[in-house]
Structure 1
Amino acid sequence: MAPVPAEWTAPTPPEGNAPLTVTPAPAPAPDPAPGAELVPYLDPSTVALLSTATQGPSVGWRKWVYRASGRLINPGESPKVIRHNSLVAQVQQPLRECYRIAMLSQKGGVGKTTITATLGATFAGHRGDRVIAVDANPDRGTLNQKVPLETPATVRHLLRDAEGIAAYSDVRQYTSQGPSRLEVLASESDPAVSEAFSAEDYTRAVEILERFYGVVLTDCGTGMLHSAMSAVLEKADVLLVVSSGSVDGARSAAATLDWLDAHGHEDMVRNSIAVLNGVRRGKRSTRVDLDKVVDHFARRCRAVCEVPFDPHLEEGAEISLDRLRADTRESLLELAAVVADGFPGARRQSDPTA
């Protein structure tokens, strides 16, 4: 009888049998409790997988040191640039609904229309939403002269055709736009039109605009008793009281605040912003003690901002932010940041917890 072959086994290595390592399968995740929030798996996106590039200085000697060292020495941004970037971030805060700014002054010639146009241009140049300035002057306003004229239409034409306005493109037919993307809705300039711009007219106009614009600025007339003023105060989220650096300009601005206090608008006065326009400090300063003027309004208003004298603004023509002096542009950015400090949900710069 032939021998039965032995069962074949694998040869044993010289070192002996290697230990067998078995990786246990992961235990199945327990079912989430009822009402528990499901946490999604992390997506291996580009941002997650790539390291963040080092950001070098953007201007000045710090930029050249960074480049000359082959990007080995990074002194960081200067305090001035850091502050500028902080102001820009403040201005760019998102808005869930339209924010309405009213510009007031009982005295003409203090630059109220100029502040309206430059502040609006600053917002429009830094924000992604639409910004419009409305000329609510019952007399012949000049706000439309601060941007290139694209249409002869006025707020009267907008109200006449209100029922047919359903999209932004419809509104755009009645506005003129500057290089900063600020749009302007002009007031009626025909002296033959005797019909007053009433409170109801202003309310209807703003209700149309706030559907398509993130920020609406209103350039009011000098009379606190003109027909549209009651609606302006009712619709405004913040008031900017504009004054020059002169004695009579400061007195007129203070009288504006007195009138508001006397007519039940104390809360609006406390939340208002005083703007001193055309300020000259230093060697060319006037004899007016501007520090005392600032102190007076600081006791009554939420903030006081100064806009220095600028030759381009003195021209009184179309305004281009690029033609302004650097300190003027920075002061307007500071003003815009102070206004944005009052946006709903904003954390104010003066808040120590911010």
Structure 2
Amino acid sequence: MTTLDVEITSATTARVTAPDTEVVQLSAADRTALWTAIHQHSTQHAHATAAPVDVTVREADKTKFVTVTPDGTATASTPSGPIPTPNTPPAQPGPSTDATAPEDSLPAGPVLMAADPLPPAATPRLGRPVAPPSAGPRGAVSTLAAPSVPAAAREPARLGLRGRVNALLGATLTPRPSSREARLRQAAAALTGPLPDRATVAVVNVKGGVGKTPLALALAATVATHRGAGSVVAVDLGEAGSSFADRIATPPTHEQNALSLLTQLDAAADVYSGTLTRYLARQPSGEDALAAGADTDRASGYDDVDRLAALLGRYRELLVVDTGNSHLADRWRWAIAAAHAVIVPVPLRHDAAAAAQRTLHTMATVRSDVLTRSVVVITDGPGDAPVVETAAVDAFTALGVPVCRMPFEPRFAAGDRITLRGLRRPTRDALAVLAATAVELMAPGTS
């Protein structure tokens, strides 16, 4: 595989360097046209060599990585997104591992985030819905984006080849900036950052069967492993027949549900921490789960949900809300109004992508600024229709909403109960980066 090194020297010019060839100067009328020129040049180089080409794009202090194939397909080779800022202190590195360590002892691979669209090939677009109310400026999205590593993250590497060299020779090699270990340290640092009062993440899509429930539960478990037991609660705001209680690792008892907790709230002047824990099902990673209960109508009113959230927010740092499919339900509208970050899972299917667009537009009618705190997560699966991706990503980025990718997770698809240790390593890595992105979206002043 050959390589190209691209240095963006201005908003309209770039310099391309390849091994054993002359430097090529690219120029264009504007920034978008410049990205088009970079993509076309990379594709031509891949076609000429009849092999994929690794492209490194450097601009100021940012470095972006992508692999371009001879047919023009561009795939990010490292994740990106608003993980920690350079002033964020690094997290403590994970435990040492060696060649004999089991896979479950290792953290997992990344979410592919975006920022500055890489012009796609011509692909049929999805239907264009009416534009939602303006949600304020938001960076564009691209598969060429990747975060730089904070200079402060200089602890010796514990994973990979550098980790093994350090362990064997007593060296102090630090992780490569683009390495999996560096990315996971960035995510860990962000995940321990400050949260607003009653911090809430809502997992939303008006279409059922797209993976909202397993993603919400896995996100709650991921945050709990970094912030500690009792810091996070996953809340079921689905309709009757929700699979929430069937997907949590430790099923709830007969009184561990929102209806019982509301009854306690009605009967008592106050509910203290010790009483609250009776109504929550503690999960293996330390997060709690609050199921809806059999009579979901009793706990579906806007005010009732708000009362529950206010109580949970007194004793838990973060609420991860699994929403239902009806955008007319009071509990759904409460989730959009209250969320500090919204995650929209989208399988690569025409119906799911169209439903996600409707979801984003409906969200914006409930709360005009919600798209500035939203992220779309494309989830890989065996039933994917790849032709959907370019059109779908195009539609989402036109709304200013970043797009991430999650690897296929068999336990999500099979309907199994969700435990973090039971998920594949790439899934756990992706969840860490996605959860860190959600935490960063909650930061004051984020838009």
Q: Under TM normalisation by the shorter chain, which class is it? A: 0.7 to 0.9
Classify 1:75/1:232 alpha carbon distance in 2 versus 1 (closer, same or farther; 3 Å). closer
Alignment of 1:248-327 (within 5 A): 248-261=351-364, 263-279=365-381, 286-327=385-426
Residue number in structure 2 paired with 1:97: 197
| Moved >6 Å (runs of 4+) | none
How far residue 254 of structure 1 moved from its aligned partner, in angstroms, is 0.3
Partner of residue 333 from structure 1, selected from 410, 423, 432: 432
Q: Map of 1:167-246 to 2, 5 A cutoff?
A: 167-189=272-294, 195=298, 197-246=300-349
Task: Work out the CA distance in 1 between the residues paired with 2:389 and 2:431.
Answer: 18
Gapped runs of 5+ residues in structure 1? 1-53, 349-354
Looking at structure 2, the residues matched to 236 and 275 of structure 1 have their Cα atoms a distance apart, in angstroms, of: 17
Q: Which moved more, 1:297-306 or 1:177-186?
A: 297-306
Look up the match of 1:49: none
* Match in the other structure for 2:233: 132
Contact 2:198–2:313 (CA<8 Å) still a contact in 1? yes
Question: What is the CA distance between 1:217 and its match in structure 2?
Answer: 1.3
CA-CA distance at 1:177 after TM superposition: 1.7
Q: Shift of the alpha carbon at 1:260?
A: 2.6
Q: State the distance in 1 between where 2:297 and 2:440 align.
A: 40
> Cα–Cα, structure 1 residues 285 and 219, in superposed 2: closer, same or farther, change >3 Å?
closer
The partner residue of 1:147 within 239, 249, 256 is 249
CA RMSD of the aligned region, Å? 2.4
- Tell me: CA distance 1:290–1:77, structure 2 relative to 1, closer, same or farther (3 Å): same
- 2:242 is aligned with what amino acid? G
Assess if the C-alpha contact under 8 Å between 1:199 and 1:232 holds in 2. no
* 2:232 partner amino acid: V
CA distance in 1, matches of 2:294, 2:366: 32
Return the alpha-carbon distance in structure 2 between the equivalents of residues 150 and 304 of structure 1: 34
Q: Contact between 1:141 and 1:189, CA under 8 Å: does it hold in 2? A: no
Go from structure 1 to structure 2 and tell me whether the alpha carbon gap of 1:292 and 1:204 turns closer, same or farther (over 3 Å shift).
same
Write the letter of the residue equivalent to 1:138. Answer: E
Of 166, 172, 177, the match for 1:74: 172
User: CA 1:196 to 1:164, structure 2 compared with 1: closer, same or farther past 3 Å?
Assistant: closer
2: CA distance, partners of 1:98 / 1:188: 22
CA shift for structure 1 position 55: 4.9
The structural deviation recorded for 1:96 is: 5.1
Count matched residues.
Answer: 287
- Per the TM alignment, residue 298 of structure 1 is displaced from its structure 2 partner at its CA by 2.5
Alignment of structure 1 residues 113-128 onto 2, 5 Å: 113-128=213-228
Q: Does residue 111 in structure 1 map to residue 211 in structure 2?
A: yes
Secondary structure class of the residue paired with 1:161: helix
Residue of structure 2 in register with 1:6 after alignment: none
CA distance in 1, matches of 2:399, 2:446: 21
1:292 maps to a residue whose letter is: A
Query: CA contact under 8 A between 2:337 and 2:366: conserved in structure 1?
Result: no
1:59 aligns with 2:163: no
User: For residues 221 and 94 of structure 1, do their structure 2 counterparts lie closer, same or farther at Cα, with a shift above 3 Å needed?
Assistant: same
Conserved 8 A contact 1:269-1:301: yes
Q: Name the CA distance, whole Å, in 1 between partners of 2:334 and 2:259.
A: 17
SS at match of 1:58: coil
The offset of 1:57, in angstroms, is 2.4
Whether the 8 Å CA contact 1:132–1:185 is kept in 2: the answer is yes
Matches of 2:297 and 2:215 in 1, distance apart? 28
Q: Percent identity?
A: 25
Using structure 1 for the length normalisation, give the TM-score: 0.74
Deviations 1:222-263 (A, max 9, x none): 0000132332233222222222211100000101112233x2
Q: Distance in 2 between matches of 1:347 and 1:199?
A: 26
Q: How far is the alpha carbon of 1:346 from its aligned partner?
A: 8.0
